[in-house]
Amino acid sequence: MPQVLEFKLPDLGEGLTEAEIVRWLVEVGDVVAIDQPVVEVETAKAMVEVPCPYGGVVTARFGEEGTELPVGSPLLTVAVGSAEGDLPGDLSGSGADGAESSGNVLVGYGTGAPAARRRRVRPEAISAAAAPVAEAAPVPVTAPAPAPGPVPAPVPDEASGPVAVVSPLVRRLARQHDLDLRQLTGSGRDGLILRADVESAIRAAANGTAVAPSVPVPVSRPASGPAPVSAPVAGERIPLRGVRGAVADKLARSRREIPDATCWVDADATELMAARAAMNGAGGPTAGPKVSVLALLARICTAALARFPELNSTVDLEAREIVRLPAVHLGFAAQTERGLVVPVVRDAQSRNAESIGAEIGRLTEAARMGKLTPAELTGGTFTLNNYGVFGVDGSTPIINHPEAAMLGVGRIVPKPWVHRGELAVRQVVQLSLTFDHRVCDGGTAGGFLRYVADCVEQPALLLRTL
């Protein structure tokens, strides 16, 4: 007889405790292969395709698209054949107990075998396998309901009274915006309240217009005395979750735990820009990707960290120790449609400017596509923040906890500058260093920043000091 195995949302690493279902990649009745991606979820770090470690027939899915699930919650159940003929096709198990499983649950850790083509299995073929799982689980989301048919009975709202709502997503959207569902007129069949109805009510509240109630709601109050005062209309509420929530938590923790200080300096970047132009023009039209200013600044940072290793460290609060880190995993701030993310260039200290630039380009493209993995977004030891792309000169950035420092770079613009004793128009940039005052004093931080500025002003200095 087939064996029903439950696949739970795995630990996606780096302390992530929940994920939101973005898109199901399989349906109930589909045949899945070992390590085939079955659902796309969004964590606080990135969009991730989650592969199932079992091969067999999907008998149930848990959670609709848009639902947040904690790690360890059931995702789906799979009927795995224990003997030949139990399931359609060749799905007999190869393990000791007959259950197909790779034991892997994260993208990139599978067997590497190509995913089998999805195919629908007759309901009668999986009826014997769809037995309840031993431990209690949420009500599964099965195949789509047939179009004609009665509307499910209204579900009581959290406050009181029946409401014609069947979708948990609609109810959650209403709660997030403090909407009383009893006051809405449903546009669905038999007055069913749809997501479009809630979104229309949200827009109406934002514009200050009233929403017509479907049924007058009686208000209980004493026979005498003043009528209750209506609560003021609440403003728009945006949940702090996903990337925005993760950023908020990290920034707040940084401010709570790290006694930071900032120093800054203006630097003449004219020679750096000239060196970049020479590098990009030396290879001719058949040369590889152009070297960016960010790549050059990243290379300068790795050289500076070699001279001032105190800033490539972290603080172990429990042990009350400063931990100097042997490798430089350089993070760089990147703005995407999903919010601010910090991809990490691994082992940047062993790369030249071209290699760093190529990796920055790859990670930036993955960030724009929402395809960065948790491993590519974590483990940084020092961050480079080029806020000059926003057209600003300076900033006092918040350290990316648990790192010890961040270098901020403003825009590079023509400014009057005294060059070789004469006033001239030069390309000037402001550099700022925010550092953890526990790992070093101002002298070390100032020395680091001064070295970076000197390399910006005289790129040849970098070659002489390597």
User: What are the catalytic residues?
Assistant: 437
Say how many residues make up the chain: 466
Under 8 Å between Cβ of 244 and 339 = yes
| Distance (Å, whole) CA 111 – CA 42 | 23
Question: Rounded to 5 degrees, what angle do the CA atoms 39, 44, 49 make?
Answer: 20
| Distance (Å, whole) CA 266 – CA 427 | 10
Amino acid letter, 313: S
Q: What is the DSSP string of 94-116?
A: -STTS--B-S--STT-S--PPPP
Q: Where are the beta strands (DSSP E) in 128-170?
A: 155-156, 162-163
Neighbours of 328 (CB within 10 A): 22
Dihedral sign for Cα 451, 452, 457, 459, please: positive
Under 8 Å between Cβ of 297 and 386 = yes
Under 8 Å between Cβ of 45 and 378 = yes
SS3 letters across 200-213: HHHHHHHHCCCCCC
| Distance (Å, whole) CA 398 – CA 256 | 11
Q: Cβ-count burial of 294 within 10 angstroms (0-12 exposed, 13-18 middle, 19+ buried)?
A: buried
DSSP state of 233: P
Under 8 Å between Cβ of 54 and 78 = yes
Helix (H) or strand (E) holding 52: strand 47-52
Q: Is the peptide bond before 414 cis (omega within 30 degrees of 0)?
A: no
β-strand partners of 264: 432
Question: Rounded to 5 degrees, what angle do the CA atoms 363, 365, 371 make?
Answer: 75
Q: Where are the beta strands (DSSP E) in 233-374?
A: 260-268, 313-316, 321-324, 330-332, 334-336, 339-341, 344-345
β-strand partners of 383: 331, 406
